[in-house]
Structure 1
């Protein structure tokens, strides 16, 4: 079993993660259409259900139609969910149930590359999911398309951050049931206070301060102005927080995974 110090050593990455990423892509490609539709359905239902329902009661939020305000939240929400579900349920299956990771490591590929491939693959799926939502809301004229392409690298970065957070849970989980704690105690409360459905300025001061520490808040602070045809403020701060979460969580996830698998 690796020592505590060796588990926490810096990630040692190489281009060997690419074949692992490609392996995941080839498996997913067989079920690509149901996968994309599944990731698309939930945020689209929220978007049009709440957008037209609550939008009838609250015509404008922040000077724009409520459904347009909600659209940016749904892009980030979809990205977060796609990345999280991939590393939690599919990633856990490959790591623990199917023993796919162990089989891959019989080849000249280190665990660091396998975990990094899972991270990048989950972010890639999140990019597809977020881009699909962008396509839908653009087709319905809910956004200003002036800066819409700038959302694509942001979506990928957000996918990396939430994939890294999810990998921490994957490394700790004894079973699939464990993930309910993560969604119930972290993902759902964060979704409710990060500005997805309403401006965080409406929150009590203490809760508003807590919301500014969450990665989803910073993702939305960047995404919403871009979708409304404006340039966001404090770009470096928001990007730094998102990247910081992703970097720290990936290092933690890798250390926990080393301790779990390299016995």
Structure 2
């Protein structure tokens, strides 16, 4: 189980990074004045944080909540639903930090990281993981089965992966789409992480961080309410 988890959370981003970064990088050269491998690596760090936190908050949390009924056993102790939910969210964010850090290390070894400022991306990775764990946990609280998560994966996560600046600048999108992606949190995660990794100035840092924090805390409040409703009849 551990090997499968490592392969799922770390193997896929590494394979995509090496394949697309070096493969497409030979033909593209630079993107927005940044070597394409570095451009892609910084985007993949943000995507990995979103992906790992979301997967953990859906499949793993649902397994503990429903088939294993772990939460029912925990609630037999003085632990509250709020404690369980916040603990799960922090665990999801921690896993995303490990995944994003691993990609950051690989990018550093391969020469894609500009300078020491890249370490400042670590708290952003954690915040990104927390932000995306909350809507995923909301989906878990509403889910009747594992297949329910396909809707969120297909309709929410995949469009953000494609549109939010991981592969290309959002400025290359049509004007209405540029406006639309500003409402998606992955856009703000990429906007924070990329300049820190490639050594460029961070523009509107507090705005981007504020969006991630706002989405995370509002989502956490909703997740607590929905999980409480599901567990306490």
Superposition TM-score tier, normalisation by shorter sequence? over 0.9
Q: Distance between the aligned counterparts of 1:144 and 1:61, measured in 2?
A: 15
Q: Distance between the aligned counterparts of 1:184 and 1:247, measured in 2?
A: 24
Q: Distance between the aligned counterparts of 1:107 and 1:79, measured in 2?
A: 32
Q: Could you say which residue in structure 1 is the equivalent of 2:74? A: 104
Q: Could you say which residue in structure 2 is the equivalent of 1:35? A: 5
- Length-normalised TM-score, structure 2: 0.97
Give per-residue Cα distances to partners, 1:128-179, cap 9 Å, x unaligned.
Answer: 1111111111111111132011011111100100111111100000000000
2:166 maps to which of 184, 196, 203 = 196
- The answer on 1:120 being equivalent to 2:90 is yes
Q: Distance between the aligned counterparts of 2:142 and 2:7, measured in 1?
A: 30
Gaps of 5+ in 2: none
Q: Could you say which residue in structure 2 is the equivalent of 1:147? A: 117
Gaps of 5+ in 1: 1-29
Q: Distance between the aligned counterparts of 2:6 and 2:42, measured in 1?
A: 19
Q: Distance between the aligned counterparts of 1:184 and 1:44, measured in 2?
A: 22
Question: Which one is further off, 186-195 or 57-66?
Answer: 57-66
Pairwise CA RMSD: 1.2
Residue correspondences, number: 233
- Aligned with 2:66: secondary structure? helix
- The answer on 1:262 being equivalent to 2:232 is yes
- Length-normalised TM-score, structure 1: 0.86
* 1:34 CA displacement: 5.0
Q: Could you say which residue in structure 1 is the equivalent of 2:200? A: 230
* Structure with larger Rg: 1
Q: Distance between the aligned counterparts of 2:34 and 2:141, measured in 1?
A: 42
- The answer on 1:207 being equivalent to 2:177 is yes
Structure 1 runs, 4 residues or longer, greater than 4 Å off: none
